[in-house]
Every structure is written in structure tokens, then in C-alpha cells.
Structure 1
Amino acid sequence: MQEKLKSVQWGVILAIATIFLGFFLGAAMGGAEAQIKQYWTASAQPVLSSVYNNDAQKVSAIVDRSWKMLQRAHMHAAAIGSASLILLYVLSCLNLSALYKKTLALFLGLGSLGYSLSWLYTAFAAPLTGSIPAAKASIHILAAGSIGMLLAGTFAILALSCKTLLCSKNT
């Protein structure tokens, strides 16, 4: 099995790093919620007049929305990292060239980590911009590219698995 996993090693490492990120964020959220929210509130202070029109309720609202984005980062990292790890194992078992395996493994690994990091970035950028959509727009390329890699990698493994498992050797 170790030899099979060597063909997808970087994807596996990135997927496990993504799972670790999810677990780390969960621990941080459980142990430092007040400190994180205080940090975001402090981050909004330099733009309090220009972005928030000196309205403390708007700051409080964006801190609450940022917390939801942090929860998304945590949940996406844990779930997508785990799903990618399973897909990488399936990929390692398929009869494909090393180049295909390495390429698809990188797609899944980078896609998993990149997508999770885009939610994390959104959570921390929103208090500075005053808006979740503005924070998302500032990292759209990373998020869209990551989603594209995840979808392409998953679809390719689905198609290759169907071909391997459902087609007879004569076709």
C-alpha cells in the first residue's frame, strides 16, 4: 500500500494538512472565541469612520458574520480534506500513469487546502473591508481556482473509477 500512496504523496500530504487546519480551527474556536472576536473588533477600528460610519453595531454585525466564515473554514477543511483523502486512496489504486496520478493528486490536495484557506481569509478580511462580499471578492481567484481543481479532480476520479469498475476488459 505504501508504494501505491507514493504515487499520490503530495495530494495526501496536502489533504492531511487540510484536515489538520480544520481540527486546529475547531480547537481555536473552542478555546479562543472571545480573543478572536476581540481581534476582529480591533481590526475594524482603523476604518471605523470610513467603512462603518462610526457605527459600533455594524462592527458587531461583521464580527458575527466573520465568525460564521471561520466556522465554514473549519467545517470545509475537515470535510473536504477527509473526502479528498478517500479519493486519493481510490486514485492510488487505479491503473493510471504516474503523471495522471500526480496531477490529479495535486488538484485534490491544492483544491482542498486552497478552498479552506479562502474561507479563513474571508473571516479575517471582512472586518477590514466591512463586508463579506468585498472580502470574498478580494480572494475570488483562489476560491474559484480551488473549487475548479476540486471539481475537476473529483470528476476525473469518478469517471476513471466508473471506467475501471463498470467496463469489461473487452471494451
Structure 2
Amino acid sequence: MSAELSNIKVGLAIILLGLFFNIALGISFGVNEDVYKNYVAEGIAAHPEVHDEKSKDKIWRYAQRTHFHAGGIAAFCLGLIILIMYSDLRARMKQISSILIGLGSFYPLAWLSMFILAPSLGRGVAHEHIFTKLFTGIGVGGILLGSFILLANIYLGRFRD
């Protein structure tokens, strides 16, 4: 088992960080949800020119989506990593694909960046911000490329040992 784990441990570590981030965020919501809601309300009050009546609820929803995506994507990626571990991919391809899939844990940070930025910049600007785009690109691109390698191995016999 340790030989199998050695090939995927970096990707696995990234995914586990994503899972722990999800748990920590959920706990922080439960302990003091008002901190998040007050952050939104204070930002909207300081910058009313970039907000409408929907902003308060939508920006709070960004924080919730951060939590939902962090857990869901990490769980999905964990399943893919397990498939990689037992696949007949070459050792180096296992490392590469597991790291790429692990990078999927960056996608929830796009929602977090929108939550952090939207109260002061507005929802549209936060959505188009470079950090939001960067986290989206890394997360989605990583999952897609890593999954492509795994699927090419499983269904087409590519990248075999």
C-alpha cells in the first residue's frame, strides 16, 4: 500500500487540505455565522453605489458555495485519486494526474475570492477579478487534465506502466 500511496501523496495532500478547509469553514459558520453576514453588510453600507437589493443575499451565498464546493469537489477528487492509485498508469503519470486533480481544490477559492471582494467592489467586478479567474482556471483545468489522463488510461490504454 505504501508504494501505491507514494505516487499520489502530493495530490492526496492537496485534496485533504481542501477537505479540512471545508470542515473548518463549516465549523466557523456554525460558531459565528454573523461575522460573515456582518462583513457583507458593512461592505454594502460602505459601497452602496456598486450594490442592489439582491447583493446581501447573493454575496452571503458566495460564502456558502465556497463551503459546498470545497466538500463536494474534494470528495469527488478523492475518488479519482483512489482510481489513479489502483490504475496501471506509469508512476510518473500517477504523480502528475493526482497533482492535477488535487488542484481541483483551488476552485472553491474562486467563490471565496468573490465573497471577499464583492462587498467592496460589487458582484460583477468580483466575478471578473483576476484572483477569481485564476482560482477557477487552476481548479477546473487541473481536474479536467488529470481526469483526461486517467480516462485515457482506463478506456484507451494510454500511459501504461
TM range, smaller chain: 0.7 to 0.9
> Does the 8 Å CA contact 2:11/2:98 hold for their aligned counterparts?
yes
Measure, in 2, the Cα distance between the counterparts of 1:43 and 1:87: 39
Measure, in 2, the Cα distance between the counterparts of 1:82 and 1:2: 21
The equivalent of 2:93 in structure 1 is 100
Letter aligned with residue 72 of structure 1: R
> Does the 8 Å CA contact 1:25/1:74 hold for their aligned counterparts?
yes
3-state secondary structure, aligned to 1:7: helix
Deviation by residue 1:45-73 (Cα, 9 ceiling, x = unmatched)? 4433x534xxxxx3x63221111111111
Equivalent residue in structure 2 for 1:128, among 120, 123, 145? 120
Letter aligned with residue 94 of structure 1: S
Measure, in 2, the Cα distance between the counterparts of 1:5 and 1:86: 14
The equivalent of 2:31 in structure 1 is 31
The equivalent of 2:22 in structure 1 is 22
3-state secondary structure, aligned to 2:50: coil
Spell out the pairing of 1:141-160 with structure 2 (5 A cutoff).
141-160=134-153
The equivalent of 2:42 in structure 1 is 42
Letter aligned with residue 114 of structure 2: T
Measure, in 2, the Cα distance between the counterparts of 1:63 and 1:125: 13
User: How far off is 1:116 after superposition?
Assistant: 1.1
Measure, in 1, the Cα distance between the counterparts of 2:67 and 2:35: 17
Measure, in 1, the Cα distance between the counterparts of 2:65 and 2:46: 26
Measure, in 2, the Cα distance between the counterparts of 1:30 and 1:12: 27
Structure 1's unaligned 5+ residue stretches are 53-57, 165-171
Measure, in 1, the Cα distance between the counterparts of 2:56 and 2:21: 21
Measure, in 2, the Cα distance between the counterparts of 1:10 and 1:152: 16
User: How far off is 1:42 after superposition?
Assistant: 2.0
Measure, in 2, the Cα distance between the counterparts of 1:66 and 1:21: 19
Measure, in 2, the Cα distance between the counterparts of 1:76 and 1:152: 19
Deviation by residue 1:79-108 (Cα, 9 ceiling, x = unmatched)? 110111111111111222222111111111
Letter aligned with residue 152 of structure 1: L
The equivalent of 1:119 in structure 2 is 111
Which is worse superposed, 77-86 or 140-149?
140-149
Deviation by residue 1:20-45 (Cα, 9 ceiling, x = unmatched)? 11112222222222121112222334
Question: How does the TM-score come out when normalised to structure 2?
Answer: 0.86
Equivalent residue in structure 2 for 1:72, among 65, 70, 77? 65
Structure 2's unaligned 5+ residue stretches are none
Question: How does the TM-score come out when normalised to structure 1?
Answer: 0.81
Letter aligned with residue 100 of structure 1: M
> Does the 8 Å CA contact 1:5/1:89 hold for their aligned counterparts?
no
Q: How many matched pairs?
A: 155
